[in-house]
C-alpha cells in the first residue's frame, strides 16, 4: 500500500501519546511528513483511540492538503499542521495534545522557562506562549490562524523551531514537533514533564529562577547540533 510505512508510524505515535498519558478522550493528534513524496499522514477526526487503525489514517498532499489516501476526515487541526510543515521546513512530525501541565501554562498565558537540565536537554531556552488569537482570527480560518500565530511567535522572538521544538498556544495547549514524528512524540512527553516539574518547583520555591545560560547551552548542545556527543555514535 502506498505510504503504508508513514501511516504505521503515525498510528504508533498517536497510540504512544495515549500510553504516555498525554491524551484524554480524543484531545490529541499526531502527523508525519514525507517531504520527498510531498505528503503528510495524520490522525482522523474524532475517532476513539481504541478504534484507530492504519486504515483510517489520512494521507494529504503537501503543501496544499489535498486528499491523497484514506476515507476518514482528517483531524480538525490539520490546517495548523499543514501551516507548520510549510513554515518550518526542517520538521518531519508534529504532535498536539492537551496534556495537563503544559495546558495549564498555555491557559495561564505563561511561557515555560528553563528551570533545569531536563528542559535544557530538549529545548534551548524557554518554550514560548503565543499571543491570543483575535475574534476575527477565530471566526475565520481558526486552525490555519493557530499555525500562523505560532509561526509569528517564533519569528518575533527570532527562535529557530529546531532549537525550541514546541510552543504553548495561548488559552489552548501545546504543540511539539521534531525532525521525525518519533522526535515530536519525545518532545511532547518532555514538555509535559518539564511543565509539571516547573509547577512543582514553584510550589517548593516560588521565585525559583532559571538555570544559567552556560548550563543550558551545555545540555542542549551536547545532544543537538554539530558538536553533539551524547549517546552512541
Active site residues per annotation: 121, 230
Sign of the CA dihedral with 123 first, then 99, 78, and 112 last: negative
Point out which residues pair with 41 in neighbouring strands. 32, 59
The H-or-E segment that residue 64 falls in is none
Point out which residues pair with 166 in neighbouring strands. 176
In sequence order, which residues have a C-beta less than 8 Å from that of residue 48 and are 6 or more positions away? 26
Provide DSSP, 83-99.
Answer: HHHHH-TT--EEEEE--
The H-or-E segment that residue 117 falls in is helix 117-122
Pairing of strands 39-42, 166-169: unpaired
CA distance 214 to 186: 24
In angstroms, the Cα distances linking 110 to 21, 101, 113, 130, 167 are 22, 12, 9, 9, 11
Amino acid at each position: 500500500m502506498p505510504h503504508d510505512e508513514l501511516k504505521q508510524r503515525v498510528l504508533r505515535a498517536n497510540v504512544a501519546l495515549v500510553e504516555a498519558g498525554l491524551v484524554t478522550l480524543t484531545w490529541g493528534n499526531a502527523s508525519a511528513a514525507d517531504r520527498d513524496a510531498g505528503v503528510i499522514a495524520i490522525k482522523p477526526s474524532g475517532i476513539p483511540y481504541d478504534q484507530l487503525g492504519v486504515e483510517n489514517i489520512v494521507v494529504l498532499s503537501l503543501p496544499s492538503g489535498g486528499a491523497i489516501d484514506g476515507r476518514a476526515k482528517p483531524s480538525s487541526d490539520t490546517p495548523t499542521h499543514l501551516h507548520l510543515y510549510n513554515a518550518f521546513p526542517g520538521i518531519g512530525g508534529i504532535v498536539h495534545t492537551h496534556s495537563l501541565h503544559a495546558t495549564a501554562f498555555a491557559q495561564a498565558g505563561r511561557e515555560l522557562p528553563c528551570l533545569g537540565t531536563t528542559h535544557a536537554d530538549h529545548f534551548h531556552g524557554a518554550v514560548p506562549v503565543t499571543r491570543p488569537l483575535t475574534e476575527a482570527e477565530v471566526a475565520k480560518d481558526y486552525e490555519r490562524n493557530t499555525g500562523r500565530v505560532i509561526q509569528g511567535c517564533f519569528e518575533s522572538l527570532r527562535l529557530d523551531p529546531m532549537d525550541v521544538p514546541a510552543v504553548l498556544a495561548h488559552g489552548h495547549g501545546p504543540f511539539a514537533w521534531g525532525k521525525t514524528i518519533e522526535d515530536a512524540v519525545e518532545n511532547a512527553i518532555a514538555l509535559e514533564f518539564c511543565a509539571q516539574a516547573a509547577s512543582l518547583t514553584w510550589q517548593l520555591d516560588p521565585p525559583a529562577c532559571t538555570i544559567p545560560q552556560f548550563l543550558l547551552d551545555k545540555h542542549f548542545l551536547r545532544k543537538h547540533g554539530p558538536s553533539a556527543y551524547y549517546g552512541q555514535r
